[in-house]
Amino acid sequence: MTIAIHESALIRHFNTRKEVLRAWEEKIGARFSPFRGFKMPDSRLYVEHPDFLDSIVDLIITNERHIFLRGPVGSGKSTLMLLALRDLPTLADRKGNKFVTGYVGMTGLYEKQMSAAIADSLRVKYRRSWESSQIIEAVAKECVRRYIEEKSRTALFVEDVADNQEAAFHKLRYLADLPTQEMKDEYPEVLDEPIITLIMSGTNVYWNAMLSFLPQIADRTEPLDVPALDDMKAKEFIGRRIAYAQGDIDSFNPNNTDISPFTDEAVKVINDAAKGNPRDIRMLARGCQQVAAENLRRSGNPEVTKDIAKLVAEAYATILREVR
Ligand SMILES: Nc1ncnc2c1ncn2[C@@H]1O[C@H](COP(=O)(O)OP(=O)(O)OP(=O)(O)O)[C@@H](O)[C@H]1O
Ligand SMILES: [Mg+2]
């Protein structure tokens, strides 16, 4: 009995909260919360970093180093990978080689899972019964064949690389070192450069671990820090999400200065607190929606003011401190 009463009180509380949020969304002409988390975000929500993206792509094209996209959780590593993946198939390097791309997004992989994931991502055929070394050998052979016969180099993207088993990492190392000496001996005039470029991601802690435990790869890898969003980009981030929720994303103009109901001052406070981290900007904006929605019920005004943003940023800082 008692439990049933508590439950219904809880449900009523959540329903009221939902209604309050819903009223705010309706007021601004949104069909859902602009700040909900999407499993697969629409690419029209992305705020681009053209210069940084160019520097990634340039490094891949010049083929001098592997790449480690370095940044805290939620800083946009995966998003940048997707953007680079989008651009590469349309490009060629200075020798006229095109690119074949593969993306391994899963983590926690063992040797064989990693080998199979790489083969799948690069569309290389193998048998399920094969050992991981056979699978990787098939990948290596096919990448070399594509290089020689199709003038295609391979760019292999591997997310959160250090979250995999150590043995899995050695498979990557083998690919990173291609062509092998025997391959070079066999085709000396063609195989004079690496044929697979690795683009890995991870936090700074993992980069340091790689430096000490896998110096053979780290020495040939360029760490690139994912840039924080500046205030203009934070504004665009919020603006895109609002336009998306309003069904207006296709006419979104990044130079548009109006992102009401958020004020510019509120965005600045949010971005300072988030240190330009998109995941944190989203969380803070969602908190602001909550407070602004309560406010709307009392005053009829849906605005997200600087004061609301300050309130939410302070609460957020407290929570983060407690978590740490
Ligand atoms: N440039 C961007 N424009 C718009 N949204 C972005 C951008 N970068 C990241 N985001 C959003 O921020 C969130 C975190 O981004 P992402 O998953 O790319 O970060 P990450 O660094 O890979 O995080 P993790 O360490 O958890 O893997 C996602 O919701 C993503 O859609
Ligand atoms: Mg990620």
CA 22 to chain centre: 29
Choice from 52, 75, 77, 79 to test ligand 1 binding pocket (greatest atom count within 8 A of CB): 79
Q: What pLDDT is stored for residue 38 in this prediction?
A: 84
Q: What pLDDT is stored for residue 204 in this prediction?
A: 94
Ligand 1 binding pocket includes 47 (Cβ within 6 Å): yes
What the block records as the tokens of 163 is 């979250």
Instruction: Name the residue at shortest CA distance from atom 23 of ligand 1.
Output: 74
What the block records as the tokens of 73 is 């959780």
Q: What pLDDT is stored for residue 100 in this prediction?
A: 96
Q: What's the pTM value of the predicted model, to 2 decimals?
A: 0.89
Q: Identify which ligand lies nearest to the alpha carbon of 282.
A: 1
**AA letter at 103:** Y
Cis peptide before 179 (omega within 30 of 0): yes
d(CA 93, CA 271): 37
Domains, the chain, ranges and CATH? 23-32+230-323 (no CATH), 50-225 (3.40.50.300)
Contact partners, residue 198, CB within 8 Å, separation at least 6: 66, 67, 156, 158, 172, 175, 176, 217, 221
Ligand 1 binding pocket includes 279 (Cβ within 6 Å): yes
Q: What pLDDT is stored for residue 166 in this prediction?
A: 78
d(CA 298, CA 291): 11
d(CA 20, CA 13): 11
Q: Identify which ligand lies nearest to the alpha carbon of 240.
A: 1
Ligand 1 binding pocket includes 73 (Cβ within 6 Å): yes
Ligand 1 binding pocket includes 277 (Cβ within 6 Å): no
Beta bridge partners of 100: 154
Longest CA–CA span in the chain (Å) reads 82
Q: Which atom of ligand 1 is nearest to the CA of 71?
A: 21
SS3 state at 154: strand
Q: What pLDDT is stored for residue 208 in this prediction?
A: 92
Instruction: Name the residue at shortest CA distance from atom 16 of ligand 1.
Output: 76
What is the Å distance from ligand 2's center to 36 Cα? 17
Q: Give 53's DSSP letter.
A: H
Q: What pLDDT is stored for residue 214 in this prediction?
A: 82
Q: Which atom of ligand 1 is nearest to the CA of 226?
A: 21
Contact 234, 267 (CB under 8 A): yes
Q: What is the pLDDT along the chain (324 residues), one digit of tens a residue?
A: 555 666 677 777 777 888 999 999 999 999 999 999 887 788 899 999 999 999 999 999 998 899 999 999 999 999 999 999 998 999 999 889 999 999 999 888 888 999 999 999 999 999 999 999 999 999 999 999 999 999 999 999 999 887 777 778 888 889 998 998 899 898 887 888 899 999 999 999 989 988 888 888 899 999 999 999 999 999 999 999 999 999 999 999 988 778 999 999 999 999 999 999 999 999 999 999 999 999 999 999 999 999 999 999 999 888 777 765
Ligand 1 binding pocket includes 261 (Cβ within 6 Å): no
Residue whose token pair is 């990693």 = 114
Residue whose token pair is 């995941």 = 279
Contact partners, residue 15, CB within 8 Å, separation at least 6: none
Buried b (16+ CB within 10 A) or exposed e, 201-213: bbbeebbeebeee
